[in-house]
Structure 1
Amino acid sequence: MSGATLTVVRDGTATVIALAGRLTATSLAPVWTRSIEAAQTAGAALVIDLTGADLVDTSGAALLLALEHAHEGVAEWRGLGPKSAALVGRLREAMADGKSAPVAARTVTRVGIGQHFLIRVTFFGHTILAVLGLPSKLRFLRGSDFFRLTERAGTQAMPLVIMMGFLIGMILAFQSAIPMRQFGADIYVAALVSLSLFRELGPLLAAVILAGRTGSAFAAELGTMVVNEEVAALTTMGIDAETMLVIPRVAAAMVVMPALALGVDVAGVIGMGFVMMILGFPPSAILQQIQAATGPGDLLLGLFKAVAFGAAIGLIGCRAGLTAGGGPRAVGEAATSAVVGGIVVTILLDGLFAVIFYRLGL
């Protein structure tokens, strides 16, 4: 099999572009420009003859579609084998969806607020459809990716979570003891801090860490794949990007968030207990106040919110990465958007949960 060759034959009724040899990424460069120019200057009819083509890969299929597009009309195909025809069909569908537009066709445009909202809604809709169609696309999931993401988002973040929880518990205990001492109610600092950690601060602080550490990593990783055309390549090969890239990351964020929130709770209680013992209270009195003020329901409510926060942060991080634009600043902007969006949505969800739990008497 030889490299790609081009022959252009013009008659009164049609222009015949005959491509022969290997139509692959390594052999198309010498004939690409000349074949496009021939298609643009063709008359009313264009015939693409592939009888002598030995091999057609994705780049060859892209050239065939580019010829059809340059002609701006319907082209007649000759000698296109069934496998090559199927490849051209898949690539045509992918380009029609707007997911694999050529780099040269991209232009920098200003996106308004309405378009930003439409992009977000479209992404979340695609993700929901991917979840509903998951039973038929399990072949796109890789268990190694899920465990790797879980380790990065959870195990590697636990030291930071424990340190922050311990310091927050100490700070809350010291700051709460000052006004409570005026009323001789120092002992109730344990109840105040533990209840605040279990219901609000534990999942909220864990969500902030997840958004800043993992949400930005999701956006940067996927944004780099978009800039390097890797996501477009997956789509061209018939692989659902939402199933392969988004679902494992969102699932990993939802799995690790309860553990991170629990780490903040435990470390915060330990930090609070350390301060209370410095103030002269025995551990038994501290534990009694924690048991009297909190219950399993308070901890479960906090863990439930943590799961919801994890899902939101994972989705926002993946959305920021997969909708990144072109250019050198795209990855940085995607990471910034993921962090800011994750924190803002987390606070909004926390306020919504506060209203719902108040109305339900929880």
Structure 2
Amino acid sequence: MPPEGQDIAARAAAREDGNAGMERRADGTLALSGRLDADGAAALWPRVMRGVEAGAQDGAPPAIDLAGITMLDTAGAVLVLDLAGPETRIEGAGEAERAVLDRTRDALAEAPPPVPPKPMPWLAWLGAMVFAAGRSIRDGTAFIGQCLVTALGLLRRPRNLRAADLLRQLDEVGLRAFPLTLLLGVLIGVILAFQSAIPLRRYGGEMFVPQLVGIVLLRELGPLIAAIIVAGRTGSAFAAELGTMTVNEEVDALRIMGIDSMAMLVLPRLIATLVAMPILALLVNLSGLVGMAVVMTGQNFPLISITNTLMQWLTLRDLLGGLFKAAVFGLAIAGIGCRAGLSAGRGPRAVGDAATAAVVGGIIATVVLDGLFAVLFSRLGI
């Protein structure tokens, strides 16, 4: 059978089984046939693109013949309009097909595809990063100033701080974190005792394990573990709660009603965390020492010897220094969580992004502050 007869037979088969087909005639006209719905356009699209690439030097076809199509929807209309150039004639289309083409053409003209942003040069990218960092520092400084002004205002009007909110936040931050704090403290004490006893046993220095674990817990690990617990539990909860209120415009409603949102929403959380953090750090210290004592008594060390060693080497200065660091860590974590919630956006991911920013920011702030305290205590001889 000659090629012309094969093309005619293919088009006839396409009409009968409904499959989409395409033929390029000798004069350059593209003849489409079959069902140009979503499935047909998807099946025909790779072949059309290969034909366009092969005939790119000829430009757009002079005409597109739609006489052979049996069905046309918006997916097929997009395919036809993508093939057609500004001077391409569309022939053989019925009234219904032309209506679909006109609606699709208007929709594409009203909503063009977004243009991908051009990559910024490295200097512009560096400037944008510096500008964003400066804006974040400015906003953080403004938030700290608002907190200080509101806290000083409570000295004149203490009734602005509601006791019920403060007690609720103390329950959330402190009491409900006790089980997790005790569990982690015991595990940390057990791990430190085991890992310290293994290398010290080679030199007969197992007797120094209690003082080593005690000093590490009281000065460093106790406040750090408590800070990580509060950042994961409380900082994210503050950001999620205040972020939800911001998204629902409840914070704006409080301001419209003349209620100080800082005094009502932020200060109770800051004060509760400031009070609860030293208590949580103390629980980590005590439970960690209990875990260490369990390990050491299991290695035939008498409990009275462990107690005497701790009383001999641990001082009140070690304990108070760790508790002071814990209070500062808690204040920073609560402030970062509240600021992340109040500055949340309006999109569906705003609350999740605020909670993530609160946890990450709280942990980073804790590590940075701990490094600053290490340098400060070393200089002061504490």
How high is the TM-score relative to the length of structure 1? 0.68
Matched residues in 2 for 1:217 and 1:339: separation? 10
| Amino acid across the alignment from 2:184 | M
Matched residues in 1 for 2:161 and 2:150: separation? 12
Judge conservation of contact 2:150–2:263 (CA < 8 Å) in 1: yes
Instruction: Kindly report which structure 2 residues correspond to 1:261-272, keeping only aligned pairs within 5 A, or say none.
Output: 261-272=281-292
* 2:148 aligned with 1:160: no
Given the alignment, which residue of 338, 342, 354 partners 2:362? 342
Matched residues in 2 for 1:289 and 1:141: separation? 45
Matched residues in 1 for 2:253 and 2:161: separation? 17
Judge conservation of contact 2:154–2:160 (CA < 8 Å) in 1: no
User: Can you give the 5+ residue segments of structure 2 that lack an aligned partner in the other structure?
Assistant: 1-128
- Size of the alignment, in residue pairs? 253
| Amino acid across the alignment from 1:202 | G
User: How far is 1:120 from its partner?
Assistant: 1.5
Partner of 2:335: 315
User: How far is 1:317 from its partner?
Assistant: 0.7
SS at match of 2:301: coil
Judge conservation of contact 1:140–1:239 (CA < 8 Å) in 2: no
| Amino acid across the alignment from 1:169 | G
Instruction: Kindly report which structure 2 residues correspond to 1:285-304, keeping only aligned pairs within 5 A, or say none.
Output: 285-304=305-324
User: Can you give the 5+ residue segments of structure 1 that lack an aligned partner in the other structure?
Assistant: 1-109
Which has the larger Rg?
2
More helix by share: 2
Q: CA RMSD in A?
A: 1.3
| Amino acid across the alignment from 2:147 | T
| Amino acid across the alignment from 2:259 | I
How high is the TM-score relative to the length of structure 2? 0.65
User: How far is 1:122 from its partner?
Assistant: 1.6
User: How far is 1:114 from its partner?
Assistant: 2.4
User: How far is 1:302 from its partner?
Assistant: 0.7
Matched residues in 2 for 1:357 and 1:113: separation? 29
* 2:189 aligned with 1:169: yes
Judge conservation of contact 1:162–1:264 (CA < 8 Å) in 2: yes
State the Cα deviation string for residues 307-351 of structure 1 (Å, max 9, x = none): 111111111110111111111111101101111111110111111
Judge conservation of contact 2:274–2:330 (CA < 8 Å) in 1: yes
* 2:123 aligned with 1:119: no
SS at match of 2:174: helix
Matched residues in 2 for 1:189 and 1:113: separation? 44
Partner of 1:188: 208
Partner of 1:146: 166
Judge conservation of contact 1:168–1:271 (CA < 8 Å) in 2: yes
Matched residues in 2 for 1:340 and 1:300: separation? 27
User: How far is 1:137 from its partner?
Assistant: 4.2
State the Cα deviation string for residues 42-94 of structure 1 (Å, max 9, x = none): xxxxxxxxxxxxxxxxxxxxxxxxxxxxxxxxxxxxxxxxxxxxxxxxxxxxx
* Fraction of identical pairs, as percent: 55
SS at match of 1:157: helix
Which moves more between the two structures, 147-156 or 124-133? 124-133
Runs of 4+, deviation exceeding 4 Å? none
Partner of 1:21: none
Judge conservation of contact 2:154–2:161 (CA < 8 Å) in 1: no
Partner of 1:356: 376
Matched residues in 2 for 1:124 and 1:334: separation? 18
Instruction: Kindly report which structure 2 residues correspond to 1:181-330, keeping only aligned pairs within 5 A, or say none.
Output: 181-330=201-350
Matched residues in 1 for 2:367 and 2:259: separation? 35
Matched residues in 1 for 2:339 and 2:248: separation? 17
Judge conservation of contact 2:239–2:341 (CA < 8 Å) in 1: yes
Which moves more between the two structures, 288-297 or 254-263? 288-297
SS at match of 2:232: helix
Matched residues in 2 for 1:292 and 1:344: separation? 34
Matched residues in 1 for 2:172 and 2:190: separation? 27
State the Cα deviation string for residues 258-278 of structure 1 (Å, max 9, x = none): 110010000000000000011
| Amino acid across the alignment from 1:299 | L
